[in-house]
Amino acid sequence: MLLEQILNGLTIGSTYALVAIGFTMVFGVLELINFANGSIYMLGGYITLMLYLGMGGHFLLAFVLSILLTGVVGFAMDRIVLSHLRAKKAPKLTGLIATMGIATVIDNVILLFFGSQTKPYPNMIDFGRFYIGETAVNSSQLVILAVAILLMVLLSLLTYCTKLGKAMRCTAQNADAARLMGINVNLIIALTFFISSMLAAVAGTMVGMYYQSIDINAGFTVGMKTMASAVLGGVGVLPGAMVGGLLVGLFETLGASYISSGYRDAIAFAILILVILFKPAGLFGKKKINKV
């Protein structure tokens, strides 16, 4: 029972981690809280569903196209809205409000196309369940965990071992200095939105399949939880978002099964608050010293 709950928690947590990574990457390069991240996660799930139904059952193709399309939405969100705010040197708060506006637009477009009812979602990764000792394991869980871990490894390689990743980290540390190296900072930022939105689409689709349903409220809840994950791990720090996501998934699942399922979301946030009280920069965050 406990092992099953832990597996459940890690599964949902790994999808939080994917979304949280995107959130933290954007925060890293821009110091911008992207409130649209949850909506983009939901959008990815809906686009996969729409393409899957529209193309007569080519799931994998629908999934890949959806990831790319959602990525393009993120890219466009930066190019069409946020990059202009940066060019005009708008205060950070304006950018944050703009992402809230974008979230509202995305949510309402989804509402317009799909309506407010919960939609059934096909589970294409269910190959039955089996037992390891006494523990029941669902194959969907293994697929989700495997995909999430694979993406985290790929993303770490991208960030720490490629020129693009180094350019992203330079931009995160000091955007003006990055510009002086000849880095096209605006392109790097737009690419960061592209990548973070693709991750959200993967997570949105996998969770849709896992719960076999998707509804219009998914974005907001997951947006809040992944923000909490990123803060828990230390915002702007890649491993922090990974661990933070897994922990939030674990806490809420264990809390729901051993305390009360009604408190599922509250437990996750209560633990977040506790951690932040004792470690304000998050588990992996560094204290920022502002030298004058």
Partner 1 sequence: MALLQLEQVVSNYGSINALRDISFEVNEGEIVTLIGANGAGKTTTMHTIAGLKELNGGKILLNGQDISRWETQARVKNGIVLSPEGRQVFPDFSVLDNLMMGGYLQTNETNQQTLETVYELFPRLKERAAQAAGTLSGGEQQMLAVGRALMGKPRLLMLDEPSMGLAPLIVKEIFALIQRIRDLGTTVLLVEQNARVALRISDRAYVLETGRIVLSGTAAELLVSEDVQKAYLGM
Binding residues for partner 1 (CB under 8 A)? 163, 166-167, 169-170, 173-174, 176-184
| CB of 96 vs partner 1, minimal distance in Å | 23
| CB of 237 vs partner 1, minimal distance in Å | 11
Closer to partner 1 at the Cβ: 134 or 176?
176
| CB of 291 vs partner 1, minimal distance in Å | 9
Closer to partner 1 at the Cβ: 89 or 132?
89
| CB of 94 vs partner 1, minimal distance in Å | 16
Closer to partner 1 at the Cβ: 133 or 182?
182
Closer to partner 1 at the Cβ: 147 or 183?
183
Closer to partner 1 at the Cβ: 25 or 145?
25
| CB of 236 vs partner 1, minimal distance in Å | 11
The 3-class SS string of the chain reads: CHHHHHHHHHHHHHHHHHHHHHHHHHHHHHCCCCCCHHHHHHHHHHHHHHHHHHCCCCHHHHHHHHHHHHHHHHHHHHHHHHHHHHHCCCCHHHHHHHHHHHHHHHHHHHHHHHCCCCEECCCCCCCCEEEECCEEEEHHHHHHHHHHHHHHHHHHHHHHHCHHHHHHHHHHHCHHHHHHCCCCHHHHHHHHHHHHHHHHHHHHHHHHHHHCEECCCHHHHHHHHHHHHHHHHCCCCHHHHHHHHHHHHHHHHHHHHHCCHHHHHHHHHHHHHHHHHHCCCCCCCCCCCCCC
